[in-house]
Amino acid sequence: MSRITAIFAGTFDPVTNGHLDIIRRGAELFGQIVVLVAKDGRKTVFTADERSSMVEAEVDGLENVRVELFDGLLVNEARRHGATVLLRGVRGSRDWDYEMQMAFANRSMAAEIETVFLPPTSGMTQISGSLVREVASLGGDVSAWVPEAVAGALAARLS
């Protein structure tokens, strides 16, 4: 699979240890991982540029991983990058239902692109960006769920 390019896309608000686990494991499986950070119009704690910079800082040193911003249909971005795989992490049944719906939609638009699901590493099933944001906004310690720099950025932004 060393010649396969995979896309791992998300909002990454903020990037969590669970996201980084999927990126690192994906980097071992595929020749190249393109992490696409959604510009997204929804309300986020961090700007798209800030989120992208945080991801870049955490994947520094992974030679086959690059980070870019994106806006629009994921399958169009995958085609633009020559990717044939959409890499997705699935923590549980709620994720599974949503991700299956998205996989079917993506497949109907781009049959040449496969969706590959990775389960989380043990101990990371509870981590979600929304949980991290909520706990951090209430002054809780999120250092077990996000990298140190991200925890610091959350504390500074939400205090």
Per the structure block, which two tokens stand in for 69? 């911003």
- Banded pLDDT at 13 (limits 50, 70, 90): very high
Could you report the per-residue pLDDT of 25-38, keeping only the tens digit for each?
Answer: 999 999 999 999 99
Looking at the DSSP bridge assignments, the partners of residue 67 are 35
User: Among residues of the chain, what percentage have pLDDT more than 90?
Assistant: 82
pLDDT of residue 41: 65
- Banded pLDDT at 113 (limits 50, 70, 90): very high
Burial of 46 (0-12, 13-18, 19+ CB in 10 A): buried
CA 57 to chain centre: 14
Whether a cis peptide bond, with omega within 30° of 0, leads into 14 is yes
The CB-based long-range contact list for 109-115 (8 Å cut-off, 24+ gap) reads 109/73, 109/75, 110/75, 110/78, 110/79, 112/84, 113/75, 113/78, 113/79, 113/83, 113/84, 113/85, 113/86, 114/84, 114/85, 114/86, 115/85, 115/86, 115/88
Please name each of the domains of the chain with its CATH number.
5-122 (3.40.50.620)
* pTM of the predicted structure, to 2 decimals: 0.93
pLDDT of residue 60: 96
